[in-house]
Each structure stands twice: as structure tokens, then as C-alpha cells.
Amino acid sequence: MSLFAKIFGGGGGKGGKGPSPQEAIQKLRETEEMLTKKQEFLEKKIEQELQIAKKNGTKNKRAALQALKRKKRYEKQLTQIDGTLSTIEFQREALENANTNTEVLKNMGFAAKAMKSAHENMDIDKVDDLMQDITEQQELAQEISDAISKPVGFGEEFDEDELLAELDELEQEELDKNLLEIGGPENVPLPNVPSTSLPSRPGRRLLTFHRNDNIYTHTHTHTHTRSASQCSSYNAHTSYLSRRLL
């Protein structure tokens, strides 16, 4: 009889079926809850016995000693329950991991069967032949595309060097034309001479000396009107210049 059967009472005989992992995990969780409640009960009892021992410590030593003995038994039971809970927790975690692994392996086996069923009607030789046919058809399609895209002259052939030379001449003519347009015409028309006379500058004075038989005479013009005193001073100045020249 297995350990599970001894603990949970399962497996009536050799032909009996053991509990499933889910059932065992559920049972272990219920046992953990029961032991946890018993722990809480024992902790309360230990506290009560401690209070009784304190209360009767000086009045009734016998009652105090009995309370301490009960306290020790409760503490021992509490220690045992702690160890049991640790074992049950470890066992539950192992069962949970085993159950997870079982589900994973089951799903992997299901996927493997599906893959096998998918490949059942496939032959590797047929696959190779099919891939070879696909490759040949792709190469044929590429050759057809190249042939269609190749330019056809319909029997007319041209000298490429001659075409290039003609193109150079056309470019040179276009360049010369552009240079002439930039330079402009040779005869550029000049602006017309103004028909109206320019105004004379105010205050300008012209003094001219004439020599006639070693005698210098002068004339002058002025655009401003002068007073009598200004004319007298000006005549004296010009007479002085005449004597200096003589």
C-alpha cells in the first residue's frame, strides 16, 4: 500500500486506483488548515496556563506547577504540529510541481501526435521533387522577364560612338548660344543729349587778361548784382594785379 493510501485510506486492493494529484493536493490543503487551527488553539491554551501559573505562583504552588506542566505539553504539541506543517507543505508543493509537469508532458505529447498526423502523408522525396520544380519554374520566370524587358531594335543597329559625337556637338552649340545671350549685342545705344541748357553756378567769377603792346587789360563777368562800394573795391584790387603783372 502506498503512502497516499495509508494517509487518506485509498486503494482497497491491488487493483485499486490511487488518488489523482489534484485530489491529493486538495486533501493536503485541508490538513494544513486543520493543523493551523489547532496551532491557534494551543497558543491560546499556553497563554492561559501561563497566566494561571503567575496567579498561583505565591498562593498555590501546586496549582502553579500543574499549570506549567500543561503549558509544557501544549508547547510540545505545538512544536510537533510545526514540523508536520512543514512536511505537508513540502509534499503539497512537490505534488503541484508534478501535476504541472504532467500537464506539460500531456500537452507536448498531444502536439507531437498532431505533428505526426500532419507529416503522415508527406514523403521527403516528394518534397525534394516539389522544391526542385518550384526552383526551375522560378528560374524560367526570371528568364522570361529578362527577355521581355530587353530592348529590341527590330534589325536597326546604330554606332554608339557616332551618337555620342553628335550629342557633344549639340551640347557645344547650346553652350555657344548661351554665351552669346549672356554677352549681349555689340552696339549699345547711348542716352540722348539734353536739349535744355544747364543752369549757371551762382557766385562764379571769370577774370581774363589781354596783352596788347605790353599793356594788360582785363575783363570780368559775374552773375551777381554788386553794390557801388563792392565794385569800387573790386576795381582797385584788379588794378593792383595789373600793376604787378607789368
The CATH architecture assigned to 18-101 reads Orthogonal Bundle (1.10)
pLDDT band per the 50, 70, 90 thresholds, residue 147: confident
Q: Average of pLDDT values for 36-46?
A: 94
What is the residue extent of each domain of the chain? Answer: 18-101, 207-218+229-246
Task: Name the grid cell of 35.
Answer: 493543523
Q: Which residues pair with 207 in a beta bridge?
A: 220
Mean pLDDT of the chain: 76
- Range from 50-64, 66-80, 219-233 carrying the lowest mean pLDDT: 219-233
CA distance 151 to 78: 98
Instruction: Assess contact for 96 and 103: CB atoms under 8 A.
Output: no
Task: Name the grid cell of 173.
Answer: 552649340
Q: What is the pLDDT of residues 160-194, one digit of tens each?
A: 888 888 888 888 888 888 888 776 555 555 566 66
CA distance 162 to 171: 14
Contacts of 91 (CB under 8 A, 6+ apart): 28
pLDDT band per the 50, 70, 90 thresholds, residue 77: very high
Q: What is the pLDDT of residues 205-246, one digit of tens each?
A: 444 444 444 444 444 444 444 444 454 555 555 555 555 545
Task: Name the grid cell of 17.
Answer: 486506483
β-bridge pairing 215-222 and 205-212 = antiparallel
Task: Name the grid cell of 163.
Answer: 551618337
**Phi, psi values for residue 134, rounded to 5°:** -60, -40
Query: For the chain, what is the HEC assignment?
Result: CCHHHHHHCCCCCCCCCCCCHHHHHHHHHHHHHHHHHHHHHHHHHHHHHHHHHHHCCCCCHHHHHHHHHHHHHHHHHHHHHHHHHHHHHHHHHHHHHHHHHHHHHHHHHHHHHHHHHHCCCCCHHHHHHHHHHHHHHHHHHHHHHHHHHCCCCCCCCCCHHHHHHHHHHHHHHHHHHHHHHHHCCCCCCCCCCCCCCCCCCCCCEEEEEEEECCEEEEEEEECCCCCHHHHHHHHHHHHHHHHHHC
